[in-house]
Amino acid sequence: ISPYLRYDDIEYDRSLLNPQMIALEKQIDDELSMFDESIASDAKEVTVSLIYPHLRAGTLPLSPRVRSFFPTAYESPRVRFTLVDGKTKQKMPGWVALEHGYVYGLRDWYKSHDLMPGSLISIRRGEIPGEVIVEAKTYRATKDWVRTVIVGADGGIVFAMLKQSISAEFNDRMVFAIPSLEAVDQLWTKGQNKSFDLLVVSMIGELSKLTPQGHVHAQELYSAVNIVRRVPPAPLFALLASHPEIAHVGDLHFRLS
């Protein structure tokens, strides 16, 4: 399993999650979220927003909504299939790693489309069995203001609104431009060693500088935390609901009290 996808269990109380948080957790398509399979869809297409660990590992989460699109074999931990680029029709080998809950084989494809955390990828059934179509909604590059990840002089994470070249559709709440993956990898090493509470509080502090209200949405925070440490939504949301220094200001927006 890629180090970016490895999750060290965080103890939390699930009863702290309110209905809004549970609804958001279902939307996020995190393979580590524990749902009954009843939310699996028979949709023709699903769209997922990339998070940094999947971008780095070249993987897609096998969430309940996504799982039905991919071949599964109960005897074998890895199932090979073919990924097809929806636009170019290019074919790429892919593997389903059932025991870890993800699909891998997309690293070069992500790179070739200049994708970033928050980029949208649509997944649909292939024309023939054993093929799955993936498509990034790409367009001619334009400059846009987006949250950008910078490594500060002290080696800590800094967020700034900067103009970046964007060439694919993204989820507004989850997008982060990362000019240097290598620099962010150093943050990753640090993120593993910091206490989860401290990490989240410092992330809210950094992100809140980007808005006049000083508020941070839970989904934005989830994407940001995953830039330095692999964490599913539930433990994060439980911390937001219970931490004495964090106040809920409505509609899943939070600020430091």
Tens digit of each residue's pLDDT (9 = 90 or more) over 137-149: 888 999 999 999 9
pLDDT in tens, 176-202: 999 998 889 888 888 788 899 999 999
Q: What is the pLDDT of residue 41?
A: 63
Which H, E and C letters describe the chain, residue by residue? CCHHHCCCCCCCCHHHCCHHHHHHHHHHCCCCCCCCHHHCCCCCEEEEECCHHHHHHCEEECCHHHHCCCCCCCCCCEEEEEEEECCCCCEEEEEEECCCCEEECCHHHHHHCCCCCCEEEEEEECCCCCEEEEEECEEEEEEEEEEEEEECCCCCEEEEEEEEEEEECECCCCCCECCCHHHHHHHHHHHHHCCHHHHHHHHHHHHHHHCCCCCEEHHHHHHHHCCCCCCCHHHHHHHHHHCCCEEEEECCEEEEC
pTM beyond 0.85, yes or no: yes
Per-residue pLDDT tens digits for 28-84: 999 999 876 655 567 889 999 999 999 999 999 999 889 889 887 666 778 899 999
